[in-house]
Structure 1
Amino acid sequence: MLVGNPATGKSTIAAVLSTIAADSPNHVCYKAEGPKQLLDNWNPEEGGGFYWIDDAFGPNQLREDFVDHWIAIMPKLQAATAAGNSFVLTSRRHIYEAAKPKLGTRNHPFFRDSTAIVEVGRLSELERRQILYNHVKCGNQSKQWKLTVKKFLDVLSKEATFTPEIARQLGDRAYTANVTASLDSLLKFVRENRAFLLQTVGELSKVHRSALTLVFLHRGRMPVSGPLPEIQEIVVRFYDVSRETLADSLNELRESFLVEVADGTRRDWNFKHPTLSDALAAILRDAEGMRELFIRGVGVETILSDVLCDGVERIPDAVIIPRSLNALLVDRLVETPDDGSRLNRLLFHFLWERASDDVFRQVLQKDPAILSRIARASREIAYDPKINVYSRAASFGILPAELRIEMGGRIERDLIHESDASFLDREDILALLSPLALVKLSKRIKAEVIPALMTKIENTGDNPDSELTPQENFEDIEVTLNYLANFYSDEIEGFPEINEMTKLISSNVDALVRKKEEEERERDEDDWRWREMSDRSPSTPVPPAPQQIRFSPSQDRSIFSDVDE
């Protein structure tokens, strides 16, 4: 997984890896925008696939439906990798950090221990200079401009805020209209790039801004065949432009701000770089009248995924809705179809994390039946949107008694039968249990949960999953033990079973490690004859590893000396 801040080159690296893989006859390459598209294009039992999943957990902010899909398919991902498939995921750092606790133990083992996490953006000085050279050399700036600025490029490449995307913008005259060819102006462009990008987009003509807005309202992925009529109408009304002018403007922005991307038989308009989407979000967030049109015109799924109520803890790149539009927002939220699945879960998640107290109360007052909707449960109670909505409603005194009893029963069942102890440090969720259930909770954990965990440890030790490492076989149990240890931290001495189980897990892991090592030794002994019969001809010289190669650039000649030629 390529993880990094915006504009650090994650997608570019993934594209290069995909191109290399495509040159091999042993690989078939696919690009997917998120896990759902991945599911549409793969067969876990087939080998030789190279899958690039861009913005794996959401392009600008965390997509809860993406997390749900990853939780469901991560075991298949491990099986597909074992079958010879390769996967490259990209994600902005803050989005992946938000996804990690929700993925929990369902995250891929190599992602959990960071074995397969690559921090993008940590570039050497040579790499920085080479990236800047390539973009300026091959960009569309005038020869005179390149001649004037080349003496400053080495300084720019050393700036802490320098990124590959800034290098690309420096090479494109569309982004430097407000930059002069002086060191001060160039340094300001590198150090305050977001401000320059906002200014650049803000100073585009009305028709060009309308075209970018049209793509933005399609979540940065608009069919070339034509926009959704309701979104097109929003843009036409807000900018007072014709549909014909809007279509022409899209083509005029090709390769500078927009690119046309093929996906099978479908072709889409995408932003040249995700930072353009960020800039549009910032501009539209403050545009008078735009947010009302946005709420009225976009689909309810977009509202559930992209909107945030004013006063709620900030989510990067969310469209913030002012309190003056709360009534309109409530009307749109209660329009959410009761699909018994995905949309209900998104609605519960919105009410849990994105709704202000006022909007939360109004929605449930306007449609109390929302609380009775069916939605897929999370693996852990603590991260279940519906349970968190119930706990929030209970804190406001608006949760019906019968629903509280029903949810309390579910929480007890998950604790006793599924060993889900994730909620034991959450007073708001514990409040859903009846007083009698709370009194009996500790006794039931000791009498029912702990013996079940002990049996599970023994069964896992006797019948481990061969596709998992010895440690991975016991991870879910260890997570539960950690929850229990925290819950009983003040009286841990009264629960020696927790320490006993921790020791039992350790001894089982050691036994499985020894067994695995013995099996590997037996395999090595079985194939020694094959190794003895192998080619004994003189070995081919091994090329040096990249870190062994030493470059000796001339001390008198800068890499940028011919950037204007």
Structure 2
Amino acid sequence: MAKPEFRLHELGWSDFQSLCHTITGEILGQTVVGYLDHADGGRDGAFRGVWQQQDGETFSGEFVIQAKHTTRPGATLGPAALADELDKAARLAASGRCDVYLLMTNARMTRRTAEWFESGLRSRGIDQSLILSSTWINARIAENPRLRMLAPRLYGLGDLTQILDERAYEQAQAVLDSMRTDLDKLVRTTTYERAARALDRHGFVLLTGVPATGKTTIAGQLALAAADVFGTHVVMLDDPAQFTDRWNPNEKQLFWLDDAFGATQLTPYLAQSWQRIGSKAKSAIDGGSKFVLTTRSYILSHAMEHLKAGSFPLLETAQVVVDVTDLTPGDRRQILYNHLKHGRQPKDYLRQLVPHLEEASDHSGFTPELARRLAEPAFTAQLQPPNATNIAAFFQDPRQFLADVLAGLDVDSLAALGLIFVSRGWLPSPVMLNEPRNELLIRLGSTISGVTRALSHLDGSLVAHVTRDNTPGWIFAHPTMIDAYADHIRNPELLHVLIEGFDAHVLISRTTCGDTGSTNAIVLPGPLWPAVIDRLEDTLSDNDTDWAQRDRCWRYLARQCVQECQRLHLQRHPHTLDELSEPRLSLEFDAGNDLIATLHANGLLPEQTRVKFARYLIDYCVDGIDGAVLWNEQFRNMLTSEEEHTLRTRLLDEVVPDPENILRNFADWFPDDEDPEEFTRPVEEFAQALAAEFEGNEVVEGAAAALEAARQQWVAEQESSEREPDEQERYESPHATRTQTPAHRSVFDDLVEDPP
């Protein structure tokens, strides 16, 4: 098998220097002090220590690291490029700052040149020296997965079929299919390091931030590194409900879900789904699996209002939530450099940009996604000339720039984006037209051939062609394209055109009927509500619709429709109440129950339906099946004063004398694959709520205490033996590379350098 080679010439000088420090820190275990300006005194890095090589040779003392980078592939380093380094080394040795000289380069070097350079160092008082050329560096990268994890951009600089072993390549296939065009732009940021530590220590990390801040990219980096270093099988989820079917307790897995609580607005169903699988996810983590989730910060804030305290234990540790917005100045510059270096802007345009890039990377509006757009001509047609004022405007108001881009597209391009939008962000390739898609093209004045051409032209800028589960398809190049297209179609005329093409999932995840206060939702006006209601009803009445989709529809009606729309739904489909009048378990998680409670709060629930529903709430509580009416304000408000009296009387007469009966009835539902502690949390809540309901009543408080004691004993009996955790490989934060304040040289100096 051929030895892997990495295209290190594609790195910039700064990135190569950082790589050298990482290699030195990883191989030697030393803390490297970096010097990143012209006034480095002949040192790109330095440390004091001892290095015992495999062949037995030992170096010790004050080490100096000098990195020599070339943008020429296959270049050979000759004496002319090294002459100045000898004089610098002499000055360092004279001042006692150089006992060992390490020269690291991505170029080749002949034996004659190496002997000349080492002789020159000895004549200047430096007896210990080592030249580490491209051959040595390539070998270290190829043999050290941890090194690749610490410098993730390396994954984009070589043939992954050679870099990763066969198993790791297969394990990472899902990541590679979604990130191929971004691998050569990866940057090891401080937020990536924090996320990696959280993932290692807790088995779970939630990446949050405002749109376009690189959440998905960091998630991909983590997943790829986990497959490479730990042999973890990467599983990409579209919905938390898929976890149960795809979890294999006998295999280490990394579950990756973008937009965990909704793409552009909170989808309440998704928040509820995480609560349902919380205990199983915890069991998977205990077994060595990991979870990487992403969400926008404003959606997370709304989701936390829907997540019941203690019901989603993965989020109880603050360290697992990493805000990716916090980028250092160095991170910003390297991200911008990498995108421009591997983007499609012509060199003449880049030369005009270079004088303004330091300032651009410091702009308060800078995000990784805007760096990507700056590198794509499709996004910068309006950025003329690329001077400081226009570049500042580009970062200051990106939404308007993107709106201008969409406004300038032809009919076929807009239709292509529309097909992706109404296909829930995934359009299989080759494009096949079902009836709604064909109707959409007709209404927009496009054709299948026009859309096919447009997708090809937009590839890499507004859309991307990727493979998922061995199926090729088209996606938006970045999630913010969903926002932009949603803005574009808020025009009532366009909404009328596109609404027929929306499937139920798109309606639920992107729209509201009336203004419910949801951030970033497409607010549908009253004239469109009947079409939406009928679409939802078609889904609910379809015998092939699974419970999860039905749950989404009920939740949409409860949370994403204003009161008048709910009234219209009941007028058009009154049988809804017959189906939902008997509450389903568990009470708080079922969306149909949420809809009934919301209809009551809005004054829309008929009395006979309320009476029937309330009777079940009381029976479930007293029988120990589900006591949510004791603590859930929505359910409690459905009871009249007489019904509340009935509830309290039955609790005193039927529960307090034999509180353990609550546990017995509840435990009858215990599934073997649940964690007993997590499963009986509702019983613990019941005991606490019972005591609070009759605060100061010693008899009731004693019954509540007896119930909790019985619960704890039952849990202990189920846990026959405490499982010892497997030894797991761990991510160790590398020895820090301390960087001195740069004085002269810019990261962007060699951005448009032409190889000699």
Does the 8 A contact of 1:61 with 1:316 survive in 2? yes
Matched, 1:91 2:262: no
Match of 1:556 in 2: 744
Question: Which blocks of at least 5 consecutive residues in structure 2 are unaligned?
Answer: 1-205, 725-730
1:152 Cα offset (Å): 2.1
More helix, by proportion: 1
Does the 8 A contact of 2:513 with 2:523 survive in 1? yes
Match of 2:527 in 1: 324
Match of 1:528 in 2: none
Match for residue 155 of structure 1 among 351, 354, 359: 359
1:327 Cα offset (Å): 3.4
1:231 Cα offset (Å): 3.3
1:273 Cα offset (Å): 0.4
Name the SS of the counterpart of 1:560 in structure 2: helix
Match of 1:128 in 2: 332
Question: Which blocks of at least 5 consecutive residues in structure 1 are unaligned?
Answer: 524-542
Does the 8 A contact of 2:476 with 2:482 survive in 1? yes
Match of 2:622 in 1: 416
Aligned CA distance change for structure 1 residues 391 and 551 (closer, same or farther; 3 Å) = closer
Match of 2:105 in 1: none
Question: Percent of aligned positions with the same letter in both sequences?
Answer: 26
Does the 8 A contact of 1:382 with 1:423 survive in 2? no
Name the SS of the counterpart of 1:561 in structure 2: helix
Match for residue 429 of structure 2 among 186, 206, 224: 224
Match for residue 63 of structure 1 among 238, 259, 267: 267
Match for residue 337 of structure 1 among 536, 540, 552: 540
Aligned CA distance change for structure 1 residues 49 and 472 (closer, same or farther; 3 Å) = closer
Aligned CA distance change for structure 1 residues 343 and 53 (closer, same or farther; 3 Å) = closer
Does the 8 A contact of 1:345 with 1:376 survive in 2? no
For 1:4-403, list aligned pairs within 5 A: 4-24=209-229, 26-40=231-245, 42-104=246-308, 107-179=311-383, 180-286=385-491, 288-310=492-514, 312-338=515-541, 339=543, 341-373=547-579, 381-382=587-588, 384-394=590-600, 399-403=605-609
> Within 1, Cα distance between the matches of 2:242 and 2:432?
20
> Within 1, Cα distance between the matches of 2:649 and 2:207?
46
Does the 8 A contact of 1:53 with 1:88 survive in 2? yes
Does the 8 A contact of 1:34 with 1:56 survive in 2? yes
Does the 8 A contact of 1:44 with 1:79 survive in 2? no
> Within 2, Cα distance between the matches of 1:225 and 1:211?
13
Code of the residue aligned with 1:370 in structure 2: it is: T
Aligned CA distance change for structure 1 residues 76 and 333 (closer, same or farther; 3 Å) = closer
1:474 Cα offset (Å): 7.8
Code of the residue aligned with 2:513 in structure 1: it is: C
> Within 1, Cα distance between the matches of 2:703 and 2:695?
12
Aligned CA distance change for structure 1 residues 185 and 69 (closer, same or farther; 3 Å) = same
Aligned CA distance change for structure 1 residues 308 and 289 (closer, same or farther; 3 Å) = same
Does the 8 A contact of 2:580 with 2:596 survive in 1? no
Between 430-439 and 189-198, the greater mean CA deviation after superposition:
430-439
1:558 Cα offset (Å): 1.8
Match of 2:613 in 1: 407
The higher relative CO (CA closer than 8 Å, separation ≥ 6) is in: 2
Code of the residue aligned with 1:120 in structure 2: it is: V
Does the 8 A contact of 1:100 with 1:107 survive in 2? no
Does the 8 A contact of 1:236 with 1:242 survive in 2? yes
1:55 Cα offset (Å): 2.2
Aligned CA distance change for structure 1 residues 35 and 377 (closer, same or farther; 3 Å) = farther
Between 430-439 and 167-176, the greater mean CA deviation after superposition:
430-439
Code of the residue aligned with 2:622 in structure 1: it is: I
Code of the residue aligned with 2:489 in structure 1: it is: L
Name the SS of the counterpart of 1:368 in structure 2: coil
> Within 1, Cα distance between the matches of 2:607 and 2:664?
41
Code of the residue aligned with 2:563 in structure 1: it is: D
1:483 Cα offset (Å): 5.5
> Within 2, Cα distance between the matches of 1:409 and 1:390?
14
> Within 1, Cα distance between the matches of 2:658 and 2:338?
62
Does the 8 A contact of 1:207 with 1:245 survive in 2? yes
Name the SS of the counterpart of 1:104 in structure 2: coil
> Within 1, Cα distance between the matches of 2:264 and 2:699?
47
1:186 Cα offset (Å): 1.1
1:551 Cα offset (Å): 1.8
> Within 1, Cα distance between the matches of 2:582 and 2:331?
47
Aligned CA distance change for structure 1 residues 332 and 53 (closer, same or farther; 3 Å) = closer
> Within 2, Cα distance between the matches of 1:392 and 1:554?
59
Aligned CA distance change for structure 1 residues 495 and 561 (closer, same or farther; 3 Å) = farther
Does the 8 A contact of 2:336 with 2:371 survive in 1? yes
> Within 1, Cα distance between the matches of 2:535 and 2:733?
58
Code of the residue aligned with 2:341 in structure 1: it is: K
Does the 8 A contact of 2:444 with 2:497 survive in 1? no
For 1:457-496, list aligned pairs within 5 A: 476=682, 479-480=685-686, 492-493=695-696
Taking structure 2 as the reference length, the TM-score comes to 0.62
Name the SS of the counterpart of 1:247 in structure 2: helix
Between 24-33 and 126-135, the greater mean CA deviation after superposition:
24-33
